[in-house]
Every structure is written in C-alpha cells, then in structure tokens.
C-alpha cells in the first residue's frame, strides 16, 4: 500500500504581485505603485491598464496612443519640410473640424483612462496622508493632458470661426511677375455711410518666394485714378475717375456701393473690388486681393495684441472737434502723443495713425505705415498664443477680405519669411513726389517708379542688391528713393528734401532754443491761436519706427 504525500501549492502570482494586487503590499509600495500608474497614464496612455488592469482596454488605448504619436511625428516633419502644407491643413475648414473632433475624443478618452487608473490605484489602500496628494497629482495630470488637448481644440475652433468670418471661399490667387499684391484699406463704416470710405490705401507687394516686402501708399485724395483693364468701371470712366474735385480715389468705394453695384454681380463687396481695380490701374500692377480694416474697431485689435511699441519723431495731437471746416481748424486737442519711444494702446494707436492736424496727409500716411509694421512685428507666436481668442474675436469685427481661406497656409508661411526683413516703401506723394502731385498725377511716372521699386526688390531677393556701387537697391523706410527720383523727369515735380530714414532720425523733443516741448506749451500756443508755432514744433511727426 502506497502512501501519497501532497505538496503545498505555490501562491498564485496574481495574489502576490503588488502591481496587480496591492492588498498585501506594504504602504510605501502602494504609494510608489500609485504614482507609477499615474506617470504611465500621463506619458503612455493605456500602459497602466496593461500592467495593472484590463489588458484589453490597455491594448486599445495603447494603439490609439501610438496612432496619435504617429500623427504628431508627421506634423513635426511637415513643420520642418513643408510648413505651408501643415498650415493649410490647420486652416482648412473641413480638415480643422476633423482635427477638432479627434482632439476632443482624445481628451475625453484620456480623462476616462485617468478615472480608470484611479480605480486601479484604490485610494482606500493608501495611507490617509497620501490620499489627497495622489488625488491632487491625478487632477494636475488630467489638466496637463486632457486639458491641453481640449484647449487646443478650443483654439482651433476659434480660429476656424474667425477664418470663416473674415476670409472668402473663393478660388486661390496666383502670383503675378513673382509677387503677391494685397491692397490694405482702412476706413470707417458709420451709420451715415453705405459701405466703408477708406481713409488709407496701401499696397503690400510681397515676393512669392522670399517674402521680401514693399509698401506702396496711395493718398486718399488722389484724383483721376485709372481703372485697370477689364474693370467694369472703365465703362463709366474710360479716362479715369475724372468727375471733378470730389472724385478722389477714396470716394470710389462709396459711389460703387451706392450706384454701381450692379456692375459687380456676385461680388461680396463691389466698392472694395472697384477700389482695388483703381489702385491696380493707378500703380500699373495687378493687385490680386484686399484686406479692409474698419478703423473704428481697429483699436480693439491693437488692445487685444497688448498695444504696439514705436519710436515717434514728433508730437501728435488727439484732435478736438472741427470748428472751422473751410480752413481745417480743430478745437483744443483732447491730448497729445509725445515724441520718443512710446507704448500705445488701441485708442492712442488709432489716433497716431489718424491724426493729420498741423501736418499734411503724407505725414499721416508715414505714421499709418509705421503702425502697420509695428503690428506685424509684434504679432509673434508668443503674443498670438497668449492672446489668441481676443485677437481672433477682434479680427472678426474689424477685418474683411476677399483672400481665399484655402490659401491662408501659403500666406501665413510667406508672412513668417517676411518677418525680420527690411521693408521698402514708396508714397505717391511726399517725400517721393511733390505734395501737389496727387491733384494732377502723371501715371507714367508712377508706373516707372513702381516698376523700379519692385525690380530693386527682385534684385535684393536674388542676392544682387550688393552689386550696386550706389547701394540703391532698397528704398529705406521713410526715405525718398533717390534712384527712383533720378530716373523720373524733373518736371513737373519739385522734390522735397529726403526725410531721415526710420533708423536714423532723432525725435524732436525740444524747441530750437533747447526748451523741452510739453503738452502745456503746445496747448498754450493753441489757446493763443498761434498754430504756426505748433506746426513748426510737430513738423517731424511723420517720422516713425516700430520697436
């Protein structure tokens, strides 16, 4: 008779493994386990479930995680090798909506994994003092993960709505002679106006490959503006906008909106389109698109950016109400913007670009150009991220454009290339033409100067700017382009002396006698009716440089 001896069974691994069954583990091990599971869920979502919970759930989550990492790597590669395509995807309405849905789903799924991880941690097994610490760590991890994805989806949705509100759904535009030309218009849309009457007109001409940019300013009081070939307005004004002294280029928008909208069937803003055609014909170039900024809301956009920083060449008044329309005399100024380095909020930046009391319109044009450049210079990624919602919301209220939303990717990329490059400038008026030129413009001279400016830009883009012994390939910001002057006939223009460039002027802060200029001094001259003294002291207020 044999006797069988039974051996004791080995303990089951699941019961002794502190990761999967922490009941019998010491308190320090349980605490360490809790933080390890949190870290795993934060950095490799799904891995905590594989090692300590539902492996099926963990495998599904891990596949999603690897897929998300793959997409992130693809986005990073595109950022490095094809930034235009990446931006185009993010700004495309359909693609961005899909990305928003994916981000929200990932955020919800990640949060669900954290809740599941909390169940795996089993807080009741932790030492009482560790429970709140682990709870706080879990909340912070959820905010860092799901919260970040949720915020990214929110920002993308805000930008998607803004793009839909501002930009058109029309076809993309092609560069002409290697350049994109955008008409920038600033105007007011008051209750007594149909459409906006633009008070500032500037063309941004951008090299399609390098981003090298020139700004060409057209005075609002230019007469006899020429409409481009193919413009419907040439049927009415074949020889130019020559219906009298009231037919200034900035009146085209209102006239077309009120009287000739039928000439532009299917066009969202006939007045803006007709103005674009007038600027194209006047400058002798093809302007492909426009951006129209409502100046009454302009201050909100600058405030959303946190203001702008400039170096002002002279004092600028915040003009009071008009008291003598015939002579252009205002009442007492509401305040003054001093010369020197200034940080301007929206209200003061608007006045800085708008004011023309005591100086001519061309000083105002120079300041407007400076404000535009300051905005572009300061709209860096850090500012955009920190104030994105405010900037986007302000933009939808003040900006309108016929630029196709489908082309934003390439244009944003082009703007990034342009950032930091020196901007060339030309004004169809002082300092590049005589002040009377806008009344009787010579369009052959305008075309010649514009052609030479853009040719010089092309040379600079190709690296040939340094070949010129006279260094005349660039029109310095705020200067009279000497090589253009030499190329144009002397008559009928009397050229003003070149003004200092944007980088070498000294703000005028004292009188010729060395006495500091103050607000009280300027106001006292105003009370005395000595406007000429004020004109002498603020004559340099067109000089400006963005900081």
pLDDT tens digits along 322-331: 777 766 788 8
Bond before 492 cis per omega within 30 degrees: yes
Which neighbouring-strand residues pair with 182?
A: 204, 289
Residue 9's contacts (CB-CB under 8 Å, 6 or more residues apart) are: none
Round to whole Å and give the CA distance between 163 and 392. 9
pLDDT of residue 247: 86
Q: What is the mean pLDDT of residues 67-92?
A: 89
Average pLDDT over residues 428-457: 89
User: According to the model, what pLDDT value does residue 190 have?
Assistant: 45
At 333 the pLDDT is 92
Closest CA to 369 of 425, 297, 314: 425
Residue 211 contacts residue 421 (beta carbons within 8 Å): yes
441: pLDDT strictly greater than 80: yes
- The arithmetic mean of pLDDT across residues 170-197, rounded, is 72
**What is the Cα–Cα distance from 94 to 87, expressed in whole angstroms?**
13
| Total-model pTM | 0.66
pLDDT recorded at residue 325: 72
Among residues 391, 315, 389, 387, which one has the least CA distance to residue 358? 315
Q: For the residues 417-421, what does the mean pLDDT come to?
A: 75
pLDDT the model gives residue 9 = 53
Q: Which residues pair with 324 in a beta bridge?
A: 329
Task: Determine the pLDDT at residue 6.
Answer: 53
Q: Tell me the sheet residues that pair with 400.
A: 292
Q: For residue 296, name the pLDDT band (cuts at 50, 70, 90).
A: low
- pLDDT bucket at 8, cuts 50 / 70 / 90: low
Please count the residues of the chain. Answer: 547
Is pLDDT at 312 greater than 90 in this prediction?
Answer: yes
Q: Which domains does the chain have, with CATH numbers?
A: 18-166 (no CATH), 179-290+388-421+434-464 (3.30.420)
- pLDDT score recorded for residue 5: 53
Per-residue confidence (pLDDT) for residue 188, from 0 to 100: 57
Per-residue pLDDT tens digits for 362-391: 888 788 878 877 887 776 656 666 666 677
Is pLDDT at 468 greater than 60 in this prediction? no
Predicted confidence band of residue 285 (pLDDT cuts 50, 70, 90): very high
- Alpha carbons 312 and 367: distance in angstroms, whole number: 9
Q: Which percentage of the chain shows pLDDT scores above 70?
A: 82
Q: What's the token pair of residue 241?
A: 């906008």
Q: What is the pLDDT of residues 486-541, one digit of tens each?
A: 233 333 333 333 344 445 789 999 999 999 999 999 999 999 989 999 999 999 99
Q: Which helix (H) or strand (E) holds 116?
A: helix 93-121
Average pLDDT (228-234) is: 94
Q: Tell me the pLDDT band of 305, cut-offs 50, 70 and 90.
A: confident
Two tokens, residue 466? 């340094």
Q: Which of 122, 146, 143, 145 is nearest to 134 (CA)?
A: 122
pLDDT score of 484 more than 70: no
Return d(Cα 342, Cα 349) in angstroms, integer. Answer: 10
Nearest Cα to Cα of residue 280 among 288, 272, 270, 269: 288
pLDDT computed for residue 387 by the predictor: 67
The pLDDT of residue 370: 86
Amino acid 509: pLDDT: 93
Residues 6+ apart with CB under 8 A from 279: 183, 201, 203, 218, 225, 249, 287
Least confident span in 184-198, 249-263, 438-452 = 184-198
Q: How far apart are CA 449 and CA 520, in angstroms?
A: 43
Q: Which pLDDT score, from 0 to 100, does residue 464 have? A: 38
Report the C-alpha gap between 204 and 166 in whole angstroms: 18
**DSSP letter, residue 206:** E
Residue 526, classed as helix, strand or coil, is helix
Q: Measured between alpha carbons, how far is 525 from 506 in angstroms, rounded to an integer? A: 24
**b or e along 396-408 (b: 16 or more beta carbons within 10 Å of the residue's beta carbon)?**
bebbbbbbbbbbb
How confident is the model over 299-319, as a mean pLDDT?
89
271 vs 485: which has the higher pLDDT = 271
Q: Which residues contact 444 (CB under 8 A, 6 or more apart)?
A: none
Distance CA 86, CA 489 (A): 49
pLDDT average, residue stretch 195-218: 84
Alpha helix (H) residue ranges in 239-387: 252-259, 270-283, 295-305, 346-354, 361-378, 381-386
Please answer whether residues 217 and 428 qualify as being in contact, where contact means their C-beta atoms are separated by less than 8 angstroms. yes
| pLDDT for res 398 | 64
Q: Is residue 51 predicted with pLDDT exceeding 80? A: yes
Judge whether residue 304 has pLDDT over 90: no
Q: Is the pLDDT of residue 451 over 80?
A: yes
Mean of pLDDT over the chain: 82
């Amino acid at each position: 008779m044999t006797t069988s001896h039974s051996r004791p069974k080995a303990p089951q691994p699941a019961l002794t493994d502190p990761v999967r069954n922490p009941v019998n583990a010491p308190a320090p091990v349980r605490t360490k386990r809790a933080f390890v599971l949190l870290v795993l869920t934060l950095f490799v979502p799904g891995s905590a479930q594989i090692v300590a919970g539902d492996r099926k759930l963990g495998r599904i989550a891990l596949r999603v995680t690897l897929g998300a990492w793959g997409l992130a790597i693809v986005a990073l590669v595109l950022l490095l090798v094809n930034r235009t395509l990446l931006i185009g995807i993010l700004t495309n309405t359909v693609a961005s909506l899909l990305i928003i849905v994916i981000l929200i789903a990932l955020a919800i799924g990640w949060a669900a994994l954290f809740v599941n991880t909390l169940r795996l941690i089993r807080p009741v097994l932790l030492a009482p003092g560790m429970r709140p610490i682990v709870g706080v760590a879990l909340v912070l991890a959820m905010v860092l993960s799901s919260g970040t994805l949720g915020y990214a989806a929110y920002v993308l949705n805000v930008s998607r709505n803004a793009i839909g509100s501002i930009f058109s759904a029309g076809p993309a535009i092609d560069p002409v002679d290697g350049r994109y030309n955008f008409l920038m218009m600033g105007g007011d849309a008051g209750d007594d106006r149909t459409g906006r009457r633009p008070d500032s007109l500037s063309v941004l001409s951008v090299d399609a490959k390098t981003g090298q940019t020139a700004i060409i300013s057209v005075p609002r009081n230019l007469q006899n503006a020429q409409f481009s070939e193919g413009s419907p307005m040439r049927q009415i004004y074949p020889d130019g906008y020559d219906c009298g002294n009231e037919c200034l280029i900035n009146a085209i928008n209102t006239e077309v909106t009120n009287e000739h909208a039928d000439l532009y069937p299917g066009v969202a803003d006939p007045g803006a389109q007709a103005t674009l055609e007038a600027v194209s014909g006047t400058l002798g170039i093809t302007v492909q698109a426009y951006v129209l900024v409502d100046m009454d809301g302009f201050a909100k956009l600058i405030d959303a950016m946190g203001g702008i920083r400039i170096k002002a060449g002279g004092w600028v008044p915040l003009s009071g109400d008009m008291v003598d329309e015939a002579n252009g005399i205002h009442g007492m100024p509401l305040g003054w913007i001093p010369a020197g380095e200034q940080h301007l909020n929206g209200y003061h930046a608007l006045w800085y670009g708008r004011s023309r009391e005591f100086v001519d319109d061309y000083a105002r044009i120079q300041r407007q150009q400076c404000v535009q450049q300051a905005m572009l210079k300061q709209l860096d990624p850090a500012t955009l991220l920190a104030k994105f919602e405010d900037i986007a919301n302000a933009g939808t209220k003040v900006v309108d454009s016929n630029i196709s939303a489908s082309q934003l990717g390439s244009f944003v990329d082009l703007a990034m290339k342009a950032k930091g490059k020196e901007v060339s400038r030309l004004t169809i008026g002082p300092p590049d033409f005589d002040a009377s030129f806008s009344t009787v413009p010579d369009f052959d001279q305008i075309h010649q100067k514009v052609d030479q400016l853009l040719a010089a830009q092309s040379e600079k883009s190709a690296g040939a700017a340094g070949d010129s012994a006279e260094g005349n390939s660039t029109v310095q910001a705020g200067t009279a382009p000497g090589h253009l002057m030499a190329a144009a006939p002397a008559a009928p223009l009397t050229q003003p002396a070149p003004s200092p460039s944007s980088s070498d002027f000294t703000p005028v802060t004292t009188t010729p006698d060395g006495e500091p200029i103050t607000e009280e001094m300027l106001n006292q001259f105003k009370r005395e009716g000595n406007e000429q003294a004020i004109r002498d002291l603020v004559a340099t207020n067109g000089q400006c440089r963005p900081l």
